[in-house]
Amino acid sequence: ESVKQKRVVFVVGGPGSGKGTQCDLISRDFGVPFFSTGDLIRSLIASGCPEGKQLQDIILQGQIIPSEVTVGLLQKAMASATSDTVLIDGFPRNTENRTVWQSQVGYDCELVLLFDCPEEVMVERLRRRAEGRADDNEETIKKRVQNFKSQMAPVLDYYRAIGKVTTISTDRPVDDIYSELSSLWRQRFA
């Protein structure tokens, strides 16, 4: 099934770097549909699908679920979006995600927004978050951070080499980050 080409912005950054918080704000103010890959996966598991147990195990290990699953969820979500610009939070997570996206979707993102935040700040935010996420425990948090560092490095190298990465420092209050992000958004996409 072919989906009309959209302007896709990937928002990436370590666990707790503030991706969801900022994407919500952009989505609210600019009317851009926003898809959190993690939320899509959690809903799929909650729906009681046959592969749910296996997916939940992967999440608890802080590992990355198979690209075909993720890209399939994103394609389905994007197909229902009427806007020609979409925000995707938390994808890609590794090189395999990136290449499967390219072959399955058929075109690449326009921009990668990298949320840059010190590890200890991210970890502290996740420790404090009390939303009952199964992966917000010390053990899993450690693995999420580790996997982000090791698996995203080659993805970021790839996108930097083609000039698609914009880095935003997220070790500051939500409003400060958003004032930079929203003006960037206004310049490029509004």
Binding site for ligand UP5 (CB under 6 A): 13, 15-21, 37-38, 41, 58-59, 62-65, 70, 90-91, 93, 97, 125-126, 129, 135, 144, 170, 173-174, 177
Of the chain, the end-to-end C-alpha distance in Å amounts to 29
User: Do residues 136 and 42 touch, judged by C-beta distance below 8 A?
Assistant: no
Cβ 118 to ligand UP5, closest distance in Å? 12
Choice between 59 and 78, CB closer to ligand UP5: 59
Site string for Mg ion, 10-39 (x = CB under 5 A): ---------xx-------------------
Cβ 54 to ligand UP5, closest distance in Å? 12
Name the residue whose CB lies closest to ligand UP5. Answer: 38
Q: What is the Cα–Cα distance from 77 to 88, expressed in whole angstroms?
A: 10
Cα–Cα distances (Å) from 5 to 76, 82, 137, 148, 157, in that order, read: 14, 11, 39, 28, 24
Choice between 1 and 175, CB closer to ligand UP5: 175
DSSP 139-151: HHHHHHHHHHHHH
| Two structure tokens written together for 87 | 């925000």
Cβ 35 to ligand UP5, closest distance in Å? 10
Choice between 86 and 93, CB closer to ligand UP5: 93
Q: What is the Cα–Cα distance from 11 to 142, expressed in whole angstroms?
A: 21
Q: Kindly tell me the burial class for residue 15, based on how many C-beta atoms sit within 10 Å of its own C-beta (0-12, 13-18, 19 or more).
A: buried
Cβ 190 to ligand UP5, closest distance in Å? 22
Cβ 160 to ligand UP5, closest distance in Å? 20
Q: What is the Cα–Cα distance from 96 to 93, expressed in whole angstroms?
A: 8
Choice between 71 and 111, CB closer to ligand UP5: 71
Choice between 19 and 93, CB closer to Mg ion: 19
Given the rule CB under 5 A, which residues bind Mg ion? 19-20
